[in-house]
Amino acid sequence: MLLHTIMGLIVENINVRKESENKWVLSSPHKNLLVSENVYLLFKQLLHSESFEESYQKFKNHFKQDISYAKYHKLIDDHFKGKGFLTNERTTNKKKSYLTLKIDLIPKRWGEKISYLFEFLFYPKTFKILSTFLLLFIIYICYKYNAHSYNFNATDILVSIIIVNLSIVFHEFGHISAYNYFIKNFKLNSYNTSGQIGFGFYFIFPVFYSNVTQAWSLEKNYRQIINIAGIYFQIIISAILFICFLIFNLNYLLLSSYLVFLYALFELNPFIRSDGYWILSDATNKHNLIQKSKLKLIEFLKTKNGKNFNWLVIYASGNYMLMLIFVLGILLYSGQSFLKFPYVLAKSLYSALLFDFSKIEFDSSMIYYLGIYIIVLTYGYRLIRMIFGNSKRKKLLAINK
């Protein structure tokens, strides 16, 4: 639902959706908020008022509360200040992202033009027929062909790596195409703050991303299609490559088909913020899934009460187990060089301070080790802070995707 603002307190064209009986999603150009029924009523009063004084009177009359004007303004600030809803704000708080060093590669206008070519893939009949075909393709290729029975040379591997990386960009166009199709179909506002494809780092890992923030304005079943759209596009690419292999009998086409398909499967991993994470989050109606599951794990460990044990505890435990397996894998692969890295780094920094550059030790693996230590220390710090720190959280949660 798109609300057209004609008054002066709320910015124009806010997207609004009822999430559940007592929950609403409000989407501004910069934030998505999950709010209670009472906060939504406060928002509507602001929406239909010409001044804060007028909205203040409406608030007191509706809620039968005789609060001061200062406290009323603080209530508004607590829920909406810096989040892109109020017209009297010149700046908004920059939203915290799980990606760093983000760069937009394909701006919104180009993303819309290119994705328009693929939107037909999300027409209901086309989507159902093609999805059925792709499912049959997966079954066929898994049972009929075994990539291990083929000999691949260095050229096959190099060409396959290039094709897989191109398919990753196409993966992001899958998300953007589905996003633009549904946003336009339901006449919602995507603003200029979403619809881009970019590049950034997830911890130390380089990743492509697509900005589909306003997807929260859509119903869950449409969000799920956006969530799986990248995998959907990559399996289409995998099928096309496999058909080309049957025609031209080039080994790199078969290898590329397998690798693109395997990458699409990896995207179903729910423990990192890949497609699988958002699929699970929407399927279970758990926004901020990683944060909430960690809090639930801490609560269970503190109380040791079986009533606090649920699937979120299992999910958080799996998340930490995955990190532990990852670190153990690094230790087994790198041996003592990984454990000695802090000492080598400290020694090299000390030598640099003394301008004794001949004693500085450096190789490319040290950058990788530094990233791993940052990840481990970050996870450890967050875990300790949650166990021994203040576990209270604000009831109002921003749900940014």
- pLDDT for res 360: 80
Cβ 372 vs Cβ 330: under 8 Å:
yes
- pLDDT for res 248: 95
Neighbours of 95 (CB within 10 A): 15
Sequence letter at residue 180: N
Can you say whether residue 289 is alpha, beta or left, with left for phi > 0 and alpha for psi between -120 and 50 degrees?
Answer: alpha
Q: How far apart are CA 156 and CA 162, in angstroms?
A: 10
Backbone angles phi, psi at 103, to 5 degrees: -135, 130
Whole-angstrom CA distances from 366 to 85, 263, 336 are 45, 27, 13
Cβ 173 vs Cβ 197: under 8 Å:
yes
Q: In what order do the strands lie in the sheet with 32-36?
A: 2-3, 14-20, 23-27, 32-36, 397-398
Can you say whether the dihedral through the CA atoms of 221, 164, 401, 390 is positive or negative? Answer: positive
Helix (H) / strand (E) element for 283: namely helix 275-284
Q: What is the DSSP letter of 10?
A: B
Over the chain (401 residues), the average pLDDT of each successive run of 10 is 58 85 86 91 90 92 88 92 83 69 89 92 95 89 74 92 95 95 86 82 83 90 96 96 94 93 94 93 90 88 85 92 81 78 85 81 74 73 64 42 41
Whole-angstrom CA distances from 189 to 252, 368, 396 are 43, 41, 23
Q: How far apart are CA 126 and CA 122, in angstroms?
A: 6
- pLDDT for res 6: 44
Can you say whether the dihedral through the CA atoms of 272, 273, 275, 281 is positive or negative? Answer: positive
Q: How far apart are CA 290 and CA 272, in angstroms?
A: 9
- pLDDT for res 395: 41
- pLDDT for res 398: 41
Cβ 180 vs Cβ 195: under 8 Å:
yes
pTM of the model: 0.83
Which residues in 38-72 are b (16+ Cβ under 10 Å) and which e? ebbbbbbbbbebeebeebbebbeeeeeeeeeeeeb
* Every domain of the chain and the residues it spans: 2-80, 100-273, 289-394
